[in-house]
């Protein structure tokens, strides 16, 4: 066995490298050579398999447990889309090949991108899309660069962007990175951006308004058309952060209520598992008047074929290598075609129903700061529990012991002790009921046995971490002996 292996490997060794260039061990100076064999661990294959299998089981994932992480949309993504993305015809494509022979060798892939753009236009009410940005935050920056290019071309210098205080942190960050000042508008009593405060901050210096609707409280702004009208009267653009599209797909299109630019998070809405930083995709859609600023290359249809076009002098240029995360785009395309219009609407309805079910059953036990019918997520507060010394963090840690991923906590920032729950459309009533019982137990334990909540988690490899300390004194070295 060993002999055969060595023979076949040695035959292939140095393949493609001229023999003379392969360094010989003798070339290493004597002083650098080991005197004794390295102290490598001696383990059997079984021990190694067990080690890595156990490590993999420490992962908390949607494939193993409920994951109601508000704003992040950790929904189950069907496995068939993964299969499609790994078909060799797609996965073996080298990105450079699309630029050869005028796209002749990649017509299928270009068609997928082109058709996905068209579907996203239909879903959002936009005229054109670029699938290049690699995440929501990346799309926001791209979008804000478009806003800057748009105003610049009209000879207008605009200074600031309006953002509500419930917004995702990436919104103000993207505005800043694109060179704008950020004006934050507080949330009104109805859970939406305060309209009166908004009106006060409207000037001819306003470049854009960036909103998500439904917002991070899960509330759809009933004044959204008026907000858009007022912004447009000042010559500003309306930017839609589409991370919450799960609450409205098939029911309402951002383009129809006055938005000019839209990003979507394919990894939240259209079937790509995420977490741990990727890979994602943040397609950016725009109205006709803004299309000429979109990143290059654009994909165009010529006769029956598809071609890449770089001839867009007003474009802001490339924002990512090649054409974005093609595998993620492909999964979104397959998912949208598979569900169809009726399926997408059904998913929206189930997501909204599930969130309202959790909200209705939990509001007896937790403070519900904005009592409204929510869309796909609901934000409760642990403010009643803090009287007994129990905080959102304690609730989150105890849920881990119950096999449930905690909801997003302490966000949005405008709700104290926020618990942001997004059950998604893919969970059964049984799973929701189990989660609700765990939450009710916690509310009761707060009064009867708060210690047990403070001592959680008990089932994890490490208990409570000093997160602030870890952030301030970052140490990425592993010192097993210390």
Ligand X SMILES: *Cc1c(COP(=O)(O)O)cnc(C)c1O
Residues lying near ligand X in the complex (CB under 6 A): 71, 135-137, 168, 170, 212, 216, 241, 243-244, 265, 280, 282
Residue 26: which residues within 8 A CB-CB, separation 6 or more? none
Nearest residue (CB) to ligand X, 103 versus 247: 247
CB 433 within 8 A of CB 359: no
β-strands 128-130, 181-185: how paired? unpaired
For ligand X, the closer CB: 258 or 282: 282
Q: Return the residue matching tokens 């920056």.
A: 141
154: helix, strand or coil: coil
At its nearest, how many Å lie between ligand X and the CB of residue 55? 26
CB of 71 to ligand X, least distance (A): 4
Say how many CA atoms lie within 13 Å of 315 toward its Cβ: 15
Element counts in the chain: helices (H) and strands (E): 15, 12
Output the smallest distance, CB 141 to ligand X, in A.
10
Q: How far is the CB of 216 from ligand X (least distance, A)?
A: 6
Q: Which residue is nearest to ligand X (CB)?
A: 136
DSSP category for residue 69: B
User: Nearer Cβ to ligand X, position 106 or 170?
Assistant: 170
Closest among 109, 39, 73, 93 to 305, alpha carbons compared: 109
Minimum gap (Å) between residue 136 Cβ and ligand X: 2
Least distance to ligand X, CB of residue 327, Å = 16
Closest by Cα among 44, 68, 376 to 219: 376
Structure tokens at 117: 């753009």
Q: How far is the CB of 134 from ligand X (least distance, A)?
A: 8
Q: Tell me whether residue 394 or residue 422 sits nearer to ligand X (CB atom).
A: 422
Residue 389 vs residues 164, 400, 414, 445, 467: alpha-carbon distances, Å: 30, 19, 21, 12, 20
Looking at beta carbons only, is 265 or 414 nearer to ligand X? 265
CA-CA-CA-CA torsion sign (428, 433, 439, 441):
negative
Smallest distance from the beta carbon of 88 to ligand X, in angstroms? 28
Whether the CB-CB separation of 221 and 213 falls below 8 Å is answered with yes
Instruction: Specify the DSSP element, H or E, that contains 459.
Output: none
Closest distance to ligand X from the beta carbon of 36 (Å): 49
Q: In this structure, are residues 71 and 269 in contact, taking their beta carbons and an 8 Å threshold?
A: no
Nearest CA to 251 out of 117, 336, 344 is that of 344
Q: Is the CB of 212 or the CB of 315 nearer to ligand X? A: 212
Closest to ligand X by CB, 307 vs 405, is 405
Provide the minimum distance between the beta carbon of 275 and ligand X in the complex, in angstroms, as a whole number. 10
What is the C-alpha separation between 370 and 381, in angstroms, rounded? 10
Nearer to ligand X, 71 or 381 (CB): 71
Q: Provide the phi-psi class of 413: left if phi over 0, else alpha when psi is between -120 and 50, else beta.
A: alpha
- Report the residue number, 323 or 411, with the smaller CB distance to ligand X: 411
The residues, any chain, with a CB within 8 Å of residue 77's CB and separated by 6 or more, are 62, 271, 272, 273, 331, 335
CB closer to ligand X, 106 vs 408 = 408
Q: How far, in Å, CA of 240 to CA of 79, rounded?
A: 29
Is the CB of residue 130 less than 8 Å from the CB of residue 283? yes
Token pair 């004194």: residue: 473
Closer of 253 and 268 to ligand X (Cβ): 268
Distance CA 241, CA 168 (A): 9
Min dist CB 267 to ligand X, Å, is 6
């Amino acid at each position: 066995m060993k002999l055969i292996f060595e023979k076949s490997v040695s035959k292939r060794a140095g393949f493609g490298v001229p023999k003379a260039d392969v360094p010989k061990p003798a070339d290493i100076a004597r002083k650098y050579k080991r005197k004794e064999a390295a102290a490598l661990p001696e383990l059997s294959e079984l021990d190694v398999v067990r080690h890595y299998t156990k490590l993999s089981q420490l992962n908390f994932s949607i494939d193993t447990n409920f994951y109601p992480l508000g704003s992040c949309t950790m929904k189950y993504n069907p496995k068939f889309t993964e299969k499609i993305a790994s078909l060799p015809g797609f996965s073996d494509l080298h990105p450079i090949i699309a630029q050869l022979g005028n796209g002749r060798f990649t017509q299928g892939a270009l068609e997928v991108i082109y058709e996905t753009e068209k579907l996203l236009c239909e879903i959002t009410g936009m005229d054109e899309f670029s699938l290049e940005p690699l995440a929501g935050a990346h799309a926001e920056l791209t979008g804000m660069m478009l806003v800057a290019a748009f105003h610049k071309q009209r000879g207008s210098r605009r200074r600031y962007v309006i953002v509500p205080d419930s917004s995702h942190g990436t919104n103000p960050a993207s505005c800043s990175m694109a060179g704008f000042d950020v004006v934050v508008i507080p949330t009104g009593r109805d859970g939406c951006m305060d309209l009166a405060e908004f009106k006060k901050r409207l000037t001819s210096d306003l470049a854009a308004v960036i909103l998500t609707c439904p917002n991070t409280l899960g509330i759809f702004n009933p004044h959204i058309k008026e907000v858009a009208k007022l912004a447009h009267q000042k010559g500003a653009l309306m930017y839609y952060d589409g991370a919450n599209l799960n609450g409205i797909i098939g029911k309402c299109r951002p383009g129809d209520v006055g938005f000019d630019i839209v990003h979507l998070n394919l990894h939240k809405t259209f079937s790509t598992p995420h977490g741990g930083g990727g890979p994602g995709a943040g397609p950016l859609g725009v109205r006709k008047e803004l299309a000429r600023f979109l990143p290059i290359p654009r994909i165009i249809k010529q006769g029956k074929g598809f071609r890449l076009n770089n001839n867009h002098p007003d474009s802001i240029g490339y924002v990512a290598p090649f054409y974005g995360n093609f595998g993620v785009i492909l999964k979104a395309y397959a998912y949208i075609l598979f569900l169809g219009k009726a399926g997408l609407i059904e998913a929206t309805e189930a997501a909204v129903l599930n969130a309202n079910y959790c909200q209705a059953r939990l509001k007896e036990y937790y403070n519900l700061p904005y009592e409204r019918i929510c869309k796909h997520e609901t934000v409760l507060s642990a403010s009643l529990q803090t009287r007994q010394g129990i905080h959102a963090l304690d609730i989150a840690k105890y849920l881990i012991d119950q096999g449930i991923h905690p909801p997003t906590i302490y966000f949005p920032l405008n709700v104290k002790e926020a618990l942001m729950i997004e059950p998604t459309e893919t969970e059964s009533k049984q799973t929701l009921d189990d989660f609700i019982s765990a939450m009710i137990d916690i509310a009761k334990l707060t009064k009867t046995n708060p210690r047990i909540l403070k001592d959680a988690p008990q089932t994890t490899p490490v208990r409570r971490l000093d997160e602030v300390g870890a952030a301030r004194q970052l140490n990425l070295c592993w010192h097993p002996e210390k």
